[in-house]
Amino acid sequence: MKKNILNSPLHPVAGIRLGTACAGIKKPDHPDLVVIEIAEGSHTAAVFTQNAFCAAPVVVAREHLSTTPPAYLLVNTGNANAGTGEQGLADAQACCQALAEAAGCAANAVLPFSTGVIGESLPVEKIRAAIPAALNALDAKGWDKASWGILTTDTQPKIFSTKIEIDGKTISLTGMAKGSGMIRPDMATMLAYIATDAQIEPTDLQACLQQAVNQSFNRITVDGDTSTNDACMLIATGKSGVQLQTGSAEFEQFSQTLTALCVELAKGMIRDGEGATKLINIDVVSGASDKECLDVAYTIAHSPLVKTAFFASDPNWGRILAAVGRAPLDDFELDKVKIFLDEVCIVEQGGRSPGYTEAQGQKVMNRNEITVRVELGRGDAQANVWTCDFSYDYVRINAEYRT
């Protein structure tokens, strides 16, 4: 078994237990069902996919979350239960009912999540049969097993855990995520579950999560495709006894820590992108607005020619220059634009930098993690996007996805 890709020590979060089981949804004897138990009195925030064809579990989870505080999260892999119409909604509800009956709670206190193949009926009976095993496996230290149980084409789990000290007390934050392909905001193709033992009011918790997501999961792209099933959950159990209120220095410290945790999980997805061999940070600075910085960054990140050049470790800087030039900006002032590969300036004054050499470019392109920095010379705005290269294996993995 491979190590956690983020190599972070895991801290249990008081009030959270996780159990994993094998339901045989797509493969026999494969961990593919996860139950997360949430202590009474906890608050939960959520961000879901913006894809119009959102999956049945997303519809049901949104509905249940609006009616009652969740007591359990139910996650299955191997089947997305998306594009399945009214039957898909009924199947998602049936799985919630099955867990509710086994755990002794109301059905609307269960939030369902699915990931996998789109357009196939959810195997409700297999899930129903595996729920008792998942409940029996519930453990505060169950994060590691659960992180394997939520994977699809991922090769490694993504878990990150940290602690912060506030007023002499310790707050724990632990999160896990899955995502490897069909990654593009808003949100990326992903499931993410984050928990903390801090005490935070629901509206503050939601705002904190949205801010963190906007700076992390909404800034990554593997292939430009937005999934039908994306969800990110943040649970605050309050078990630490530390109450955080918006506007305080302590709340800001927590918010920054949460964002940093989400960034690590997001970058973990890019490192484990389908067929990826390189993590590419695209940093666009001195723009007139955040939007135009993001427009430039995504134009670079979504260019197959740029991505294949990175896979080949080919310092073909013209690919990057062309991508920047076709970004939807008004009144482009080419003479002000500078483009860098890490520390090497490759473009300035409208063309190749006079001091640039192929050897300098090759040295950077041989690295596993590379920053493309674009200076627009138009203002003070800045934006980051993380992406990866485009390899033979990406095509193979997706061509064989259903086999």
* Residue ranges matching CATH 3.60.70.12 in the chain: 16-271
- Among residues 385, 364, 383, 363, the alpha carbon closest in space to that of 375 is found at 383
Catalytically active residues are 189
Report the Cα–Cα distance between both ends of the chain, in Å, rounded. 23
For CATH 3.10.20.340, list the domain ranges present in the chain.
279-399
For residue 182, what pLDDT band results from cuts at 50, 70 and 90? low
Give the tens place of pLDDT for each residue, 59-108: 999 999 999 999 999 999 999 999 999 999 999 999 999 999 999 999 99
DSSP3 helix / strand / coil % (the chain, rounded to 5): 35, 25, 40
pLDDT above 70 (res 52): yes
Q: In angstroms, what is the C-alpha Rg of the chain?
A: 22
Residue 78 backbone dihedrals phi, psi, to 5 degrees: 90, -15
**Residue closest to 5 by CA, chosen among 191, 104, 134, 147:** 147
Reply yes or no on whether the pLDDT at 376 is more than 50.
yes
Q: Assess whether the previous peptide bond of 187 is cis (omega < 30° from 0).
A: yes
CATH topology of domain 279-399: Ubiquitin-like (UB roll) (3.10.20)
Q: What is the pLDDT of residues 291-344, one digit of tens each?
A: 999 999 999 998 989 999 999 999 999 999 999 999 998 888 889 999 999 999
The CATH H-level superfamily of 16-271 is L-amino peptidase D-ALA esterase/amidase (3.60.70.12)
Q: How far apart are CA 382 and CA 374, in angstroms?
A: 10
Neighbours of 108 (CB within 10 A): 19
